[in-house]
Amino acid sequence: MNLRSLANAATSRISPNTPVIWRQNMGTTQNMETGERSSNWQETAITGQVQALTSRDLHHIEGLNQQAYSRAVYLNGQAMGARRLAMKGGDLFIIAGQTWKVISVPENWPLNGWGKVIVTLRQAGDQHAD
C-alpha cells in the first residue's frame, strides 16, 4: 500500500505538489588520458511534495554537520544520497530552477514505492558530483 498517495491526497490541498526534475546519478566515468571524471545523469520529470524540515529532521542533519538551506521532499521513487563504494554522488532535484542535492534518505520504502529525502540548496558554483 502506498501511504504517500493516501496522505498526498490530503496534504496537496494545503501544499500543492511541485514539478521536479529528478537527476539520478548513474556513476562517473574517468578519462584515462587526462584523469578527469564526469558524472552520468538520468533525468526524469516527476512531482513531489516539498516541505519544511521537522524538528527530528533538523536534529538529524545537525549530526551530519550540514549548515545549509534544506527541505524534505516526498516522492514516488527511491532517490539516493552519495554512495561512495558505488562511486556515485547524490541525486539532484531541480525545483523552480534551483538545484537541490540529496544529503540524506530518512525514509525509503521500496516495496511501497515511495521515499522521503532531505535536500540542500546548492550554490551557483558548486558543480562537483559528490
Task: Encode pLDDT of 67-125 as tens digits.
Answer: 678 999 999 888 888 877 776 778 999 999 999 999 888 888 878 888 999 999 987 65
**Position 79 in a domain:** yes
**Position 114 in a domain:** yes
The tally of domains found in the chain comes to: 1
**Position 38 in a domain:** no
| In the predicted structure, residue 126 carries a pLDDT above the cut 60 | no
**Position 70 in a domain:** yes
**pLDDT (mean) for 50-78:** 82
Are 95 and 20 in contact by the 8 Å Cβ rule? The answer is yes
**Position 6 in a domain:** yes
Nearest to 54 by CA among 10, 6, 118, 11: 118
**Position 97 in a domain:** yes
**Position 2 in a domain:** yes
Long-range own/partner contacts, residues 86-89 (CB < 8 A, 24 or more apart)? 86/27, 87/27, 87/28, 88/25, 88/26, 88/27, 88/28, 88/130, 89/25, 89/28, 89/39, 89/128, 89/129, 89/130
| In the predicted structure, residue 129 carries a pLDDT above the cut 60 | no
| In the predicted structure, residue 11 carries a pLDDT above the cut 90 | no
Domain range for residue 87? 1-11+48-123
User: What pLDDT is stored for residue 66 in this prediction?
Assistant: 63
**Position 36 in a domain:** no
Nearest to 69 by CA among 124, 120, 126: 120
Q: Between these two residues, 84 and 46, which has the higher pLDDT value? A: 46
Are 15 and 24 in contact by the 8 Å Cβ rule? The answer is no
